[in-house]
Protein backbone atom coordinates (compact mmCIF):
# COMPACT_ATOMS: atom_id res chain seq x y z
CA UNK A 1 0.00 0.00 0.00
CA UNK A 2 1.30 3.38 -1.05
CA UNK A 3 2.10 5.86 1.68
CA UNK A 4 0.65 9.45 1.51
CA UNK A 5 4.16 10.73 0.84
CA UNK A 6 4.56 8.52 -2.25
CA UNK A 7 1.07 9.51 -3.48
CA UNK A 8 1.91 13.20 -3.09
CA UNK A 9 5.15 12.75 -5.02
CA UNK A 10 3.32 10.96 -7.85
CA UNK A 11 0.73 13.76 -8.00
CA UNK A 12 3.51 16.37 -8.02
CA UNK A 13 5.33 14.59 -10.85
CA UNK A 14 2.10 14.37 -12.88
CA UNK A 15 1.41 18.08 -12.36
CA UNK A 16 4.95 18.95 -13.49
CA UNK A 17 4.59 16.74 -16.58
CA UNK A 18 1.25 18.33 -17.50
CA UNK A 19 2.68 21.86 -17.09
CA UNK A 20 5.73 20.94 -19.18
CA UNK A 21 3.56 19.48 -21.96
CA UNK A 22 1.26 22.54 -21.93
CA UNK A 23 4.24 24.90 -22.11
CA UNK A 24 5.79 22.90 -24.95
CA UNK A 25 2.51 22.84 -26.94
CA UNK A 26 1.95 26.57 -26.35
CA UNK A 27 5.46 27.40 -27.55
CA UNK A 28 5.02 25.15 -30.59
CA UNK A 29 1.69 26.75 -31.44
CA UNK A 30 3.21 30.22 -31.24
CA UNK A 31 5.97 29.18 -33.65
CA UNK A 32 3.40 27.92 -36.17
CA UNK A 33 1.23 31.02 -35.91
CA UNK A 34 -1.38 29.68 -33.46
CA UNK A 35 -2.00 32.41 -30.93
CA UNK A 36 -4.60 31.33 -28.33
CA UNK A 37 -4.44 34.71 -26.66
CA UNK A 38 -5.54 36.41 -29.90
CA UNK A 39 -9.06 35.22 -29.23
CA UNK A 40 -10.73 33.06 -31.91
CA UNK A 41 -9.71 30.02 -33.93
CA UNK A 42 -10.32 29.75 -37.69
CA UNK A 43 -11.70 26.30 -38.44
CA UNK A 44 -12.41 26.86 -42.13
CA UNK A 45 -11.68 29.37 -44.90
CA UNK A 46 -14.81 29.77 -47.04
CA UNK A 47 -13.39 32.08 -49.72
CA UNK A 48 -11.29 35.22 -50.01
CA UNK A 49 -13.35 37.33 -47.62
CA UNK A 50 -15.23 34.89 -45.37
CA UNK A 51 -14.10 32.47 -42.68
CA UNK A 52 -15.73 30.14 -40.17
CA UNK A 53 -14.70 30.07 -36.52
CA UNK A 54 -14.47 27.06 -34.24
CA UNK A 55 -17.54 28.34 -32.34
CA UNK A 56 -19.63 28.00 -35.52
CA UNK A 57 -19.82 31.75 -36.29
CA UNK A 58 -18.97 33.09 -39.74
CA UNK A 59 -16.91 36.24 -40.22
CA UNK A 60 -17.18 38.52 -43.26
CA UNK A 61 -14.17 40.82 -43.71
CA UNK A 62 -15.11 44.50 -43.53
CA UNK A 63 -14.24 46.86 -46.36
CA UNK A 64 -13.26 44.37 -49.07
CA UNK A 65 -14.78 42.16 -51.73
CA UNK A 66 -13.17 39.17 -53.43
CA UNK A 67 -14.30 37.21 -56.52
CA UNK A 68 -17.06 34.69 -55.86
CA UNK A 69 -16.40 30.94 -55.90
CA UNK A 70 -20.09 30.00 -55.93
CA UNK A 71 -23.17 31.53 -57.52
CA UNK A 72 -26.78 31.30 -56.47
CA UNK A 73 -28.91 28.89 -58.52
CA UNK A 74 -32.54 28.73 -57.48
CA UNK A 75 -32.64 28.20 -53.71
CA UNK A 76 -29.08 26.95 -53.49
CA UNK A 77 -25.51 27.61 -54.54
CA UNK A 78 -23.38 25.97 -57.21
CA UNK A 79 -19.62 25.91 -57.71
CA UNK A 80 -18.82 28.40 -60.48
CA UNK A 81 -15.56 30.19 -59.61
CA UNK A 82 -14.89 33.64 -61.01
CA UNK A 83 -11.33 34.42 -62.17
CA UNK A 84 -8.91 34.77 -59.22
CA UNK A 85 -11.49 33.46 -56.72
CA UNK A 86 -9.52 30.30 -55.94
CA UNK A 87 -6.30 32.35 -55.74
CA UNK A 88 -7.97 34.70 -53.25
CA UNK A 89 -9.17 31.78 -51.15
CA UNK A 90 -5.71 30.14 -51.22
CA UNK A 91 -4.06 33.40 -50.14
CA UNK A 92 -6.59 33.82 -47.33
CA UNK A 93 -5.94 30.21 -46.31
CA UNK A 94 -2.22 30.91 -46.02
CA UNK A 95 -2.93 33.94 -43.85
CA UNK A 96 -5.52 32.57 -41.42
CA UNK A 97 -6.25 28.88 -42.06
CA UNK A 98 -6.00 26.87 -38.83
CA UNK A 99 -4.80 29.90 -36.85
CA UNK A 100 -5.89 31.90 -33.86
CA UNK A 101 -6.89 35.41 -34.94
CA UNK A 102 -8.08 38.62 -33.35
CA UNK A 103 -11.25 40.43 -34.45
CA UNK A 104 -11.81 44.18 -34.46
CA UNK A 105 -15.32 45.48 -35.00
CA UNK A 106 -16.56 48.72 -36.51
CA UNK A 107 -19.97 50.37 -36.03
CA UNK A 108 -22.05 47.39 -37.18
CA UNK A 109 -21.12 44.05 -35.66
CA UNK A 110 -23.24 41.74 -37.86
CA UNK A 111 -24.75 41.71 -41.34
CA UNK A 112 -28.23 40.57 -42.38
CA UNK A 113 -26.96 36.99 -42.71
CA UNK A 114 -25.91 37.03 -39.02
CA UNK A 115 -22.22 36.94 -39.97
CA UNK A 116 -19.78 38.87 -37.83
CA UNK A 117 -18.33 41.90 -39.63
CA UNK A 118 -14.72 42.39 -38.63
CA UNK A 119 -11.18 43.45 -39.36
CA UNK A 120 -9.20 40.26 -38.82
CA UNK A 121 -5.64 40.21 -37.49
CA UNK A 122 -2.88 37.65 -37.33
CA UNK A 123 -0.30 39.19 -35.03
CA UNK A 124 -0.01 42.82 -36.12
CA UNK A 125 -1.16 42.17 -39.72
CA UNK A 126 -4.67 43.12 -40.78
CA UNK A 127 -5.82 40.36 -43.12
CA UNK A 128 -8.34 42.65 -44.87
CA UNK A 129 -5.47 44.97 -45.80
CA UNK A 130 -3.20 42.12 -46.93
CA UNK A 131 -5.90 40.78 -49.26
CA UNK A 132 -6.21 44.19 -50.93
CA UNK A 133 -2.46 44.82 -51.08
CA UNK A 134 -1.86 41.44 -52.73
CA UNK A 135 -4.44 42.28 -55.39
CA UNK A 136 -6.93 39.56 -54.44
CA UNK A 137 -9.61 41.97 -53.19
CA UNK A 138 -11.07 45.34 -54.10
CA UNK A 139 -12.24 47.79 -51.50
CA UNK A 140 -15.93 47.52 -50.73
CA UNK A 141 -16.94 50.57 -48.74
CA UNK A 142 -20.26 50.26 -46.97
CA UNK A 143 -20.99 52.94 -44.33
CA UNK A 144 -21.04 53.14 -41.40
CA UNK A 145 -18.15 50.63 -41.34
CA UNK A 146 -15.54 52.95 -42.83
CA UNK A 147 -12.85 53.14 -40.14
CA UNK A 148 -9.95 52.09 -42.37
CA UNK A 149 -11.24 53.20 -45.80
CA UNK A 150 -8.31 55.55 -46.47
CA UNK A 151 -5.72 52.90 -45.61
CA UNK A 152 -7.51 50.31 -47.74
CA UNK A 153 -7.59 52.78 -50.65
CA UNK A 154 -3.83 53.29 -50.32
CA UNK A 155 -3.31 49.51 -50.37
CA UNK A 156 -5.49 49.23 -53.47
CA UNK A 157 -3.57 51.97 -55.28
CA UNK A 158 -0.37 50.09 -54.54
CA UNK A 159 -1.82 46.83 -55.89
CA UNK A 160 -3.10 48.58 -59.00
CA UNK A 161 0.20 50.36 -59.70
CA UNK A 162 2.05 47.05 -59.46
CA UNK A 163 -0.66 45.11 -61.38
CA UNK A 164 -0.97 42.44 -58.70
CA UNK A 165 -3.64 39.74 -58.80
CA UNK A 166 -6.94 41.03 -60.13
CA UNK A 167 -5.30 44.19 -61.38
CA UNK A 168 -3.23 42.27 -63.94
CA UNK A 169 -6.44 42.09 -66.01
CA UNK A 170 -6.80 45.89 -66.09
CA UNK A 171 -4.96 47.34 -69.05
CA UNK A 172 -5.08 50.78 -70.64
CA UNK A 173 -7.55 49.35 -73.16
CA UNK A 174 -11.16 50.41 -72.70
CA UNK A 175 -13.87 47.88 -73.52
CA UNK A 176 -17.42 48.65 -74.60
CA UNK A 177 -20.56 47.70 -72.72
CA UNK A 178 -21.24 44.99 -75.31
CA UNK A 179 -18.01 43.24 -74.26
CA UNK A 180 -18.71 43.14 -70.53
CA UNK A 181 -20.57 39.80 -70.56
CA UNK A 182 -17.39 38.15 -71.90
CA UNK A 183 -15.29 39.58 -69.06
CA UNK A 184 -17.23 38.50 -65.96
CA UNK A 185 -14.94 38.31 -62.94
CA UNK A 186 -12.23 40.54 -64.36
CA UNK A 187 -11.34 44.15 -63.55
CA UNK A 188 -11.93 46.19 -66.68
CA UNK A 189 -12.36 49.79 -67.75
CA UNK A 190 -15.76 50.06 -69.43
CA UNK A 191 -17.07 52.89 -71.58
CA UNK A 192 -20.85 53.11 -71.92
CA UNK A 193 -23.68 55.50 -72.59
CA UNK A 194 -26.21 55.96 -69.77
CA UNK A 195 -29.79 55.52 -70.94
CA UNK A 196 -31.57 56.00 -67.63
CA UNK A 197 -31.08 56.20 -63.86
CA UNK A 198 -32.93 54.65 -60.95
CA UNK A 199 -32.61 55.95 -57.39
CA UNK A 200 -34.17 54.09 -54.47
CA UNK A 201 -33.70 54.32 -50.71
CA UNK A 202 -30.84 51.86 -50.98
CA UNK A 203 -29.13 52.20 -54.34
CA UNK A 204 -28.49 54.29 -57.46
CA UNK A 205 -28.44 52.28 -60.69
CA UNK A 206 -27.16 53.61 -64.00
CA UNK A 207 -28.85 51.70 -66.82
CA UNK A 208 -26.53 51.71 -69.80
CA UNK A 209 -26.53 50.39 -73.34
CA UNK A 210 -26.27 46.63 -73.93
CA UNK A 211 -27.89 45.84 -70.57
CA UNK A 212 -24.79 46.97 -68.65
CA UNK A 213 -25.34 48.59 -65.24
CA UNK A 214 -23.33 50.61 -62.73
CA UNK A 215 -24.42 50.28 -59.10
CA UNK A 216 -23.68 52.83 -56.37
CA UNK A 217 -25.05 52.04 -52.92
CA UNK A 218 -26.77 55.11 -51.53
CA UNK A 219 -24.67 55.22 -48.37
CA UNK A 220 -21.61 55.59 -50.58
CA UNK A 221 -23.04 58.56 -52.51
CA UNK A 222 -21.71 60.80 -49.73
CA UNK A 223 -18.27 60.30 -51.30
CA UNK A 224 -19.49 61.38 -54.76
CA UNK A 225 -20.35 64.90 -56.00
CA UNK A 226 -23.49 66.24 -54.30
CA UNK A 227 -25.09 66.94 -57.69
CA UNK A 228 -25.53 63.19 -58.23
CA UNK A 229 -27.88 62.81 -55.30
CA UNK A 230 -29.77 66.02 -56.15
CA UNK A 231 -30.48 64.93 -59.73
CA UNK A 232 -28.89 61.72 -61.04
CA UNK A 233 -30.69 62.22 -64.38
CA UNK A 234 -29.06 65.61 -64.98
CA UNK A 235 -25.66 64.26 -63.98
CA UNK A 236 -25.68 60.97 -65.93
CA UNK A 237 -28.57 60.54 -68.34
CA UNK A 238 -27.58 60.38 -72.03
CA UNK A 239 -23.92 60.93 -71.12
CA UNK A 240 -20.92 58.71 -71.70
CA UNK A 241 -19.19 57.27 -68.66
CA UNK A 242 -16.03 55.30 -67.99
CA UNK A 243 -16.03 53.01 -64.98
CA UNK A 244 -13.58 50.39 -63.77
CA UNK A 245 -14.07 47.52 -61.37
CA UNK A 246 -14.87 43.83 -61.20
CA UNK A 247 -17.54 42.97 -63.74
CA UNK A 248 -20.18 40.80 -62.09
CA UNK A 249 -23.27 39.05 -63.37
CA UNK A 250 -26.43 39.95 -61.48
CA UNK A 251 -29.64 38.31 -62.69
CA UNK A 252 -28.30 38.06 -66.21
CA UNK A 253 -26.96 41.62 -66.43
CA UNK A 254 -23.25 42.54 -66.29
CA UNK A 255 -22.57 45.21 -63.70
CA UNK A 256 -19.84 47.06 -61.85
CA UNK A 257 -20.28 48.26 -58.27
CA UNK A 258 -18.70 51.69 -57.82
CA UNK A 259 -17.64 52.30 -54.22
CA UNK A 260 -15.36 55.27 -54.84
CA UNK A 261 -15.53 58.34 -57.12
CA UNK A 262 -12.10 57.34 -58.43
CA UNK A 263 -13.78 54.47 -60.31
CA UNK A 264 -16.08 56.68 -62.39
CA UNK A 265 -15.66 59.42 -65.00
CA UNK A 266 -18.38 61.33 -66.86
CA UNK A 267 -17.80 62.88 -70.30
Active-site residues, by number, are 60, 68, 115
Instruction: Tell whether the torsion through CA atoms of 110, 83, 128 and 149 is positive or negative.
Output: negative
* CA terminus-to-terminus distance, the chain: 96
Using CA atoms, how far residue 58 sits from 33, 39, 51, 72, 116, in Å, is 21, 15, 6, 19, 6
Angle at 135 between CA 45 and CA 149, to 5 degrees: 90
Angle at 154 between CA 153 and CA 160, to 5 degrees: 85
Using CA atoms, how far residue 238 sits from 191, 192, 194, in Å, is 13, 10, 5
Number of neighbours of residue 23 by Cβ within 10 angstroms: 10
Amino acid sequence: MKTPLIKNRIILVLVIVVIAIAFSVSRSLRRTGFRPLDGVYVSRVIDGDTIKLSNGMYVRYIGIDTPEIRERKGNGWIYNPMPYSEDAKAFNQRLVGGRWVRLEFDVQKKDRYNRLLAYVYTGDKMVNMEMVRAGYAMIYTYPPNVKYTDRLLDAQRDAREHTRGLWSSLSTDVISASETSKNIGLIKMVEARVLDTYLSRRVLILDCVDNFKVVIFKDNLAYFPKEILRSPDNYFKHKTIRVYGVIKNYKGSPEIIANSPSQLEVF
